[in-house]
């Protein structure tokens, strides 16, 4: 599907366009989250047997096949093509916990990317892990709103912007990373985040001063912010995004929006915004045509699903199998069973009570209730997949909980708990990961109230066989994961918790043990989180 942007585009379709028109094909992925192996329809691990039966999607071998097929076809027709990644290769499966960024770097080099944006999860193991990745890959890694002057590790190793030479035409790539990465990951004190829009304006102006008049923003800020950037930054011709896992499509009715979605600037200029969901399930193909002045004439394309019809690249599939060997025995171990699908969908666990949130919070609380702990709070963003009905393997649990978080306990006032819940529901509209999944309490929240102004109401805590109103002055024992306890996802009030103790067991082990003790676990919600 193509969207006409000017009268000149009509002329192009009639074959009367000037010879200087330039069509750029942009192949892109985002938020792979270490789904190097194929995934099932729940974005979790998909076994070899299911893959052989055509039930799997994605995996880096299918990504390689599709990108190579598209790129070779475009080049054979004399076309222009670049391949981009909008960030978050890190974190999400045992492939990451075992190999960190090395596996992603190896496969990206084989596929042949032209540039990659820094995602927030590229900082999950600190700046050192990102530096190792940038030293390994054959392409530039870019993020323009980071001040790295104080970081000896990253200074000079992440670009503000890059210029690609595409068959003699200069194509500029600028980039921004979500400023709340300080809450959602571990960039450290020496990485300073600047305003996304102001930084992009400066980088675009610098490229224009160099004579670059085709400029793409390769961002990791989320779809809502991408639209704001597309509206607000003159000189950007298109936005390739990530972070929010948004499924844009020109062919599927299940889409979150059109591919591409257009934003209008103050002067009426239309800027296309594209994103291709997540987890290696799609490859985006955005086609952009410019006149000789660098003005965008039309844009179109689609996110292409990598289902069983896409044959995995044999060489890469063999290498993936080789890397899988050391961890396959652990992943294949059956640890529990479930009577039904346990819903851990991102859009559900970041906006309200969800089955996976109840399971994880219940398991956390069960593990430490003998220590006088009565409340569990788990960030919805820490839940990364659903689990299918039937046998549950450790690999499935690890896909849900890939971050190697451990249990952490502490004491805090009832008011501190209320403040934590208020933080948790403060960014629901943006589907942020701080949404609180809970056990040992229930609450109501009102989206019509401004964030931070009392959205949370009617907080009740378990006492005896029932629930009683929380006492703001009383001290409560709380369990969460070590990331949230350290202030992650905006839970800074937990840093001042009393008698804090990183209890130690990995969250994935806690959940696996809890499910095993239940027999055939039955997924459920019970209204512990209500919305007015």
Whether 386 is covered by a domain: the verdict is: yes
In a shared domain, residues 294 and 349? no
386-427: per-residue pLDDT in tens? 999 999 999 999 999 988 788 889 999 999 999 999 999 999
pLDDT for position 403: 80
pLDDT for position 503: 65
pLDDT for position 3: 37
Nearest to 74 by CA among 285, 327, 389, 321: 285
Domain boundary among 321, 345, 376: 321
101-125: per-residue pLDDT in tens? 999 999 999 999 999 999 999 999 9
468-496: per-residue pLDDT in tens? 999 999 999 999 998 899 899 999 999 89
Reduced to 3 states (helix: H, G, I; strand: E, B; else coil), residue 475 is strand
Confidence of residue 13 (pLDDT cuts 50, 70, 90): very low
As for how many domains the chain has, the answer is 2
Whether 327 is covered by a domain: the verdict is: no
pLDDT for position 12: 32
Q: Which residue segment(s) compose the domain that 15 sits in?
A: 2-321
272-319: per-residue pLDDT in tens? 999 999 999 999 999 999 999 999 999 999 999 999 999 999 999 999
In a shared domain, residues 300 and 346? no
Confidence of residue 28 (pLDDT cuts 50, 70, 90): very high
Whether the pLDDT of residue 11 is over 60: the answer is no
Cα–chain center distance at 376: 24
Whether 408 is covered by a domain: the verdict is: yes
457-472: per-residue pLDDT in tens? 999 999 999 999 999 9
49-58, 330-339, 400-409, 420-429: range with lowest mean pLDDT = 400-409
Q: Do the Cβ atoms of 378 and 481 come closer than 8 Å?
A: yes
In a shared domain, residues 273 and 339? no
Whether the pLDDT of residue 437 is over 60: the answer is yes
Whether 326 is covered by a domain: the verdict is: no
pLDDT for position 221: 96
In a shared domain, residues 294 and 348? no
Whether 328 is covered by a domain: the verdict is: no
In a shared domain, residues 346 and 271? no
pLDDT for position 504: 63
In a shared domain, residues 396 and 252? no
In a shared domain, residues 374 and 296? no
Domain boundary among 321, 351, 370: 321
In a shared domain, residues 54 and 196? yes
Whether 330 is covered by a domain: the verdict is: no
**177 - beta bridge partners?**
220
CA distance 101 to 110: 14
In a shared domain, residues 291 and 385? no
Instruction: Check which CATH number belongs to the domain holding 129 and give it.
Output: 3.60.21.10
Contacts of 269 (CB under 8 A, 6+ apart): 234
pLDDT for position 406: 80
Q: Do the Cβ atoms of 114 and 71 come closer than 8 Å?
A: no
In a shared domain, residues 471 and 377? yes
Whether 329 is covered by a domain: the verdict is: no
Question: What one-character DSSP code corresponds to residue 342?
Answer: B
Domain boundary among 265, 288, 321: 321
In a shared domain, residues 376 and 505? yes
């Amino acid at each position: 599907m193509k969207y006409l942007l000017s009268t000149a585009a009509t002329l192009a379709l009639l074959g009367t366009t000037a010879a200087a028109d330039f069509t750029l094909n942009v192949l892109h992925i985002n938020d792979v989250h270490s789904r190097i192996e194929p995934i099932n329809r729940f974005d979790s691990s998909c076994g070899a047997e299911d893959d052989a039966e055509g039930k799997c999607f994605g995996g880096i071998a299918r990504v390689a096949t599709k990108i190579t097929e598209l790129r070779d076809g475009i080049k054979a027709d004399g076309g222009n093509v670049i391949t981009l990644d909008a960030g978050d290769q890190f974190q999400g499966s045992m492939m990451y916990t075992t190999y960190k960024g090395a596996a992603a770097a190896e496969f990206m080099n084989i596929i042949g990317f032209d540039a990659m944006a820094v995602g927030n999860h590229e900082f999950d193991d600190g700046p050192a892990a990102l530096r190792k990745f940038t030293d390994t890959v054959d392409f530039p890694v870019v993020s323009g709103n980071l001040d790295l002057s104080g970081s000896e590790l990253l200074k000079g190793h992440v670009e503000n912007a890059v210029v690609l030479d595409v068959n003699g035409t200069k194509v500029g790539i600028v980039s921004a990373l979500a400023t709340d990465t300080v809450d959602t990951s571990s960039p450290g004190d020496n990485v300073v985040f600047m305003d996304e829009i102001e930084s992009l304006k400066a980088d675009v102006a610098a490229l224009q001063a160099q004579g670059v008049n085709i400029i793409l923003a390769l961002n990791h800020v989320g779809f809502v912010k991408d639209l704001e950037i597309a509206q607000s930054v003159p000189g950007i011709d298109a936005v390739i995004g990530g972070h929010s896992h948004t499924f844009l499509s020109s062919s599927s009715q299940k889409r979150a929006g059109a591919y591409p979605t257009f934003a209008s600037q103050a002067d009426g200029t239309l800027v296309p915004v594209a994103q291709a969901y997540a987890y290696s399930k799609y490859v985006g193909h955005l086609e952009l045509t410019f006149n000789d002045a660098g003005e965008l004439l039309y844009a179109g394309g689609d996110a292409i699903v990598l289902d069983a019809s896409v044959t995995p690249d044999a060489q890469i599939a063999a290498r993936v199998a080789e890397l899988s060997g050391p961890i396959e025995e652990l992943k294949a171990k059956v640890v529990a069973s479930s009577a039904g699908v346990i819903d851990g969908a991102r859009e559900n666990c970041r906006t309200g009570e969800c089955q996976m949130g109840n399971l994880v919070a219940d398991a956390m609380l069960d593990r430490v209730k003998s220590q006088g702990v009565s409340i569990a709070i788990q960030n919805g963003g820490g839940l990364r997949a659903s689990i299918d009905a039937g046998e549950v393997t450790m690999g499935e649990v690890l896909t849900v909980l890939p971050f190697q978080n451990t249990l952490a306990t502490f004491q805090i006032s009832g008011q501190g708990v209320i403040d934590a819940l208020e933080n948790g529901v403060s960014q629901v509209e943006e589907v942020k990961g701080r949404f609180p999944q809970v056990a040992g309490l229930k609450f109501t929240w009102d989206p019509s109230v401004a964030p931070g102004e009392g959205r949370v109401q009617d907080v009740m805590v378990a006492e005896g066989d029932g629930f009683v109103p929380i006492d703001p002055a009383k001290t409560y024992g709380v369990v969460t994961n070590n990331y949230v306890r350290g202030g992650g996802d905006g839970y800074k009030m937990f840093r001042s918790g009393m008698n804090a103790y990183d209890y130690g067991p990995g969250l994935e082990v806690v959940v696996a043990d809890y499910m095993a003790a239940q027999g055939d676990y039955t997924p459920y919600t019970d209204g512990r989180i209500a919305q007015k």
